[in-house]
Structure 1
Amino acid sequence: MSRIVVFGAGGRAGTRVVAEAVRRGHEVTAVVRDPGRYAGPSGDGVSVVKGDVTDPGSVAEAAAGHDAAVQASARMDVPSAEFYPAAARALIGGLARAGVARLAALGIGTLLEVAPGTRLVDTPGFPEDARAFSLGHAAELEVFQEEGGALDWVVIAPPPVVLDDRAERTGGHRFGGGEVMAAEEGGPVFSYADLAVALVDEIEQPRHHRVQVAVGY
């Protein structure tokens, strides 16, 4: 059993990560901006605390005494290009202060390549609003790559589609590399529940280190 701190625990991915970790017997600290609005898993094994993933001091305080961290935070009211790099720097600094060495972060599939050297976000006709959001994630990844050398981080990018928010956990998933993974024609859409499985798997048995990897069915 480990102690896992989950940043962004109130979101669609974060609530699933909390549930998955508790299901496996871990103790979880669910970090949210407003605990009064938290509607995720609670009860035995879950502590809900207020925190700010862009503040190194807040990260350090929430993460103290934990074995690993998950970053699933998002902000729609802050420009992506500001929020994600700030979160990455705060996690690098705050987790170091807390003595937490392992981080599994939720990425975005639009940064995966569709051809050698060509990311989906850079293809002709890619929507500008989605591009701006994706480039915020790209800036976060660059911070991890350039400044996160002492942190054992991994960024896990789901398929670049709208994930299934209702599907039950199957436990099935496979990791790829830095490319968009080919989906089986007519197959199910990758779910938030199985994304959570992948994130917790990388906490329990780290297989990927200081890299962005794709995940899918």
Structure 2
Amino acid sequence: MPSTPDQLPKQVAVLGAGGRVGRAVTAALLAGEHHVTAVVRDPGRYDPPPHPRLRVVRGDARQPAPLAPVLRTTEALVLAVTPFTAPPPSFDGFDPDYYAAIVAGLADAWDHPHRRLVAVGLTATLRLDSGGAVMDDPDLFPPALTPYAEAHARQLPALSATTLDWAVLAPPGGFGTDPDPRRPYRLLREPLSRTQVMAALSHGTYARAVVAEVERPTVRRERVAVVPG
């Protein structure tokens, strides 16, 4: 029988589990006693430590229909996919609706009474208290990466057009530079100061914030920033 939104542990799928953020979130979910399905494009290149509550399946978030059997038993999704592992030399041919299309496809394919989705956001999309977004300030974000940031920004209206119970958690610009995975954190609504958006945060601390929003949601249908507390 499906669990209710307040029951733990949960059946959680991590899309993009092979990346640094996906791996950190998967580890944090397993530490929290959840049952995790790690969805990766190439299982042969994914080598997590064996765990009785972890299963690995081949899948592509851009093609959600084949993932229907997984989604039918999934109460919460963590969307941690990225179109590339490093900035490309050119964005020629890059789909600006990369993330929006994934969201629309998942909303159609995911058939479950409880549909909690937590998406990994991007610092560049956050709004500043001085006006504009981080991506508009060349001192804070490389202009060459603007197409990637704009694709992330399109995710928000795409999520708003669904009936999913969603949250976008955007890390700060110093993401991955803090060595302490147990540091306290805060969730902040926009707009934010330059200091807040460029703060240092570990992948482990960010993963704890994601797991907390899977377990006991406090952010619903909005984007917030995860910053050190």
* Class of the TM-score when normalised by the shorter of the 2 chains: 0.7 to 0.9
**Separation in 1, partners of 2:69, 2:193:** 37
Does 2:156 align with 1:141? yes
- For 1:169, the equivalent position in structure 2 comes to 181
Q: Which moved more, 1:193-202 or 1:53-62?
A: 53-62
Looking at structure 1, the residues matched to 113 and 130 of structure 2 have their Cα atoms a distance apart, in angstroms, of 37
The aligned counterpart of 2:206 is 195
1:110 maps to what in 2? 124
Contact 2:118/2:210 (<8 A) preserved: yes
Aligned length, in residue pairs:
211
RMSD, aligned CA = 2.3
Pick the aligned partner of 2:101 from 57, 81, 86: 86
Q: CA deviation at 1:172?
A: 1.9
Q: Distance in 2 between matches of 1:121 and 1:83?
A: 18
The 3-state SS of whatever aligns with 2:29 is helix
Residue 79 (structure 1) shift: 2.2
Partner residue, 1:127: 142
- Which residue of the partner structure matches residue 206 of structure 1? 217
Unaligned 5+ runs, structure 2: 1-8
Q: Extract unaligned runs of 5+ from structure 1.
A: none
Q: After superposition, what is the alpha-carbon deviation per residue over 1:3-22, rounded to whole angstroms, capped at 9, x for unaligned?
A: 11110000000001110000
**Alignment partners' CA distance in 1, 2:48 and 2:227:** 24
2: CA distance, partners of 1:181 / 1:104: 24
Confirm or deny: 8 A CA contact 1:27 1:45 kept in the other structure. Answer: yes
Distance of aligned partners of 1:171 and 1:59 in 2 relative to their CA distance in 1, 3 Å threshold: farther
Written as runs of structure 1 = structure 2, the 5 A alignment for 1:21-170 is 21-76=29-84, 79=94, 81-95=96-110, 97-115=111-129, 117-123=131-137, 126-145=141-160, 147-148=161-162, 150-164=163-177, 167-170=179-182
Report the counterpart of residue 11 of structure 1 in structure 2: 19
SS in 2 for 1:70: strand
Distance 2:126 2:105 in 1: 24
Q: 1:171: Cα distance to partner?
A: 5.2
The alignment's TM-score, normalised by the length of structure 2, stands at 0.83
Contact between 1:32 and 1:52, CA under 8 Å: does it hold in 2? yes
Q: CA deviation at 1:69?
A: 0.8
Q: Which has more helix, going by share of residues?
A: 1
Contact 2:128–2:194 under 8 Å retained in 1 = no
The one-letter amino acid of 2:172's match is P
Residue 41 of structure 1 deviates from its aligned partner by 4.1
User: Which string of whole-angstrom CA distances, capped at 9 and with x for unpartnered residues, describes residues 90-129 of structure 1?
Assistant: 222222x244410000000111111265111123565322
* TM-score normalised according to structure 1 size: 0.88
